[in-house]
A and B are shown apart, each in its own frame.
Chain A
């Protein structure tokens, strides 16, 4: 029996004598493995980004918006009339034991002016709860108070983008900005948060008390109604309970008769996140599946080269057999060559794929995450390809009759 390192050395020598050919074969593998690695990295990056952004929105969240879920439940869309009221929000907080906090919301596009600076942004009317529910922290200043809400005070909190657009380096606290021409005092500044799961800039916003928004800014169209509310359950375990408590309570308050469709929808944010993640996962699997085709092509390239090599080196095989190589020795030698080709392709492919993923993430501003398991998978897969596609040619070589092999020209 010949030692493993001798087999490897012999295989290496054989590959070295045909450098160009070995290189091109390896190149085929490199492209395949790199494609799979890069696609997985981009796909995993998408999942990570989705998770991060949903996490930045807050935890254990439910969203209630008008319209029945069966009619599509389009959120605040043109066809859906607002049905939720501030009293609904207060009742939920009061009467649903699984609910920790409620933030009602009324929002719209506004023009915000300070001095000569002018910025169009979305203004959100809500309560002090919004900040804690959405994991929002204040950079400086204060949150809204009960009395702000009661009196529909003309105060606002600015998002980081708005603050820098309107004030530049100046400190906005205590200054008066005009929101849709209504002068409001800046009482707080939000800490920057980055972009949302949907990709929009979460810092491009102005917060005002919900009552202010209803009475002074957007109340004209639907007096007394709010657009939707974000609700925080007491814990992850109580999300389902909160969902049913809210549904029951609102159905009662809105006098929905049994069998009738609800005029509101309760959605669990983690469900939405899971759906989005599932989408990203399927997308990355799809990309990787397409990329695997090139891996397969690389494997076939190895098989092709090994078959040519076995035919070309028939005489060499005959010589080795004549001096005492057994079938297994010949088989292992050619298998080792195929394995070396595929593993070299695998390793270089992993590096190339990682480099490619880095470039994609750098230039497309898209996170790319090289999961260790995808590297292990690519490595194992290329080894498997080497063995799988190398076996037939190697087996063919090992079966050669020494006399016939020696006679081969």
Chain B
């Protein structure tokens, strides 16, 4: 069964005099447990697509079915709820709260889910352990390396048990070595926890981890090919 289905998604930014057609009819279906990369040149609409997938933005036109439910017409509060418990989002720039410890950053989604304090702390610590950050729980973002910060962000994206993690150029700010670690972490989550991972990347190197590559150009899907995983977390 498809975890998510996009049907003819359009996104148009109205800038008054000009209209920017960022997406012009994207149709895409992703099954549970897939590990998929979206590639394309700069300005092709990858981030726009990810924002719609992540319920951070709504399409101008088209249908978006998440778990078989149409979410394209939902209001802000319903979208917030979906972001909270169905989707984990990882950004290129980490987007951690400054002057806030790693564990408190990871707790944030649980706070808005209404999870009691004690349980919150415990689940956040578990998530941090899962991404290999035990012992760094009380470090603040500025006390962590880029790779470590991205791991905190990944811990935050999975702490709520979301079945879907979206990552927009998660390795864009990291060096090759750290990038590989992050990619392996995604592989690990995908293979052991069955989490569906969709990520945007520019680097063919990183695409070696995934099993499917969707290429978009000028707001349209121009190729969608399955491939074998060349690397995984174990190798």
Contact = CB atoms under 8 A, between A and B. Distances in A.
Chain B: interface residue count, which band?
20 to 34
A2 to B, nearest CB: 6
Interface in A375-406: 401-403, 406
B111 to A, nearest CB: 6
A320 B112 contact: yes
Interface string B160-172: 1000000000000
Given A2-B114, A322-B89, A327 B81 contact: no
A381 B37 CA distance: 57
Contacts, number: 63
Interface string A324-344: 111111000000000000000
Given A3-B114, A322-B89, A17 B83 contact: no
A323 B76 contact: no
Interface residues of A, number: 24
B51 A329 contact: no
Given A17-B99, A327-B77, A322 B114 contact: no
Contacts of A321: 80, 83
A230 B20 CA distance: 94
Given A323-B83, A403-B56, A6 B91 contact: no
B57 interface: yes
Interface in A1-57: 1-3, 6, 10, 17
A319 interface: yes
A323 B96 contact: no
Contacts of A201: none
Contacts of A6: 111, 117
Contacts of B160: 324
Contact of B108 (A320, A328, A402): A320
B214 to A, nearest CB: 21
A326 B78 CA distance: 8
A367 interface: no
B84 A323 contact: yes
A3, A10, A326, A401 — which one has the most chain B CB atoms within 10 A of its CB? A326
Interface of B: 51, 54, 56-57, 76-77, 80-81, 83-85, 89, 91, 95-99, 108-109, 111-114, 117, 156, 160
28 contacts: A1-B114, A2-B111, A2-B112, A10-B111, A17-B99, A315-B95, A318-B95, A319-B95, A319-B97, A320-B108, A321-B83, A323-B83, A323-B109, A323-B112, A323-B156, A324-B83, A324-B84, A324-B109, A324-B113, A325-B112, A326-B76, A326-B77, A326-B112, A327-B76, A329-B112, A401-B57, A402-B56, A402-B57
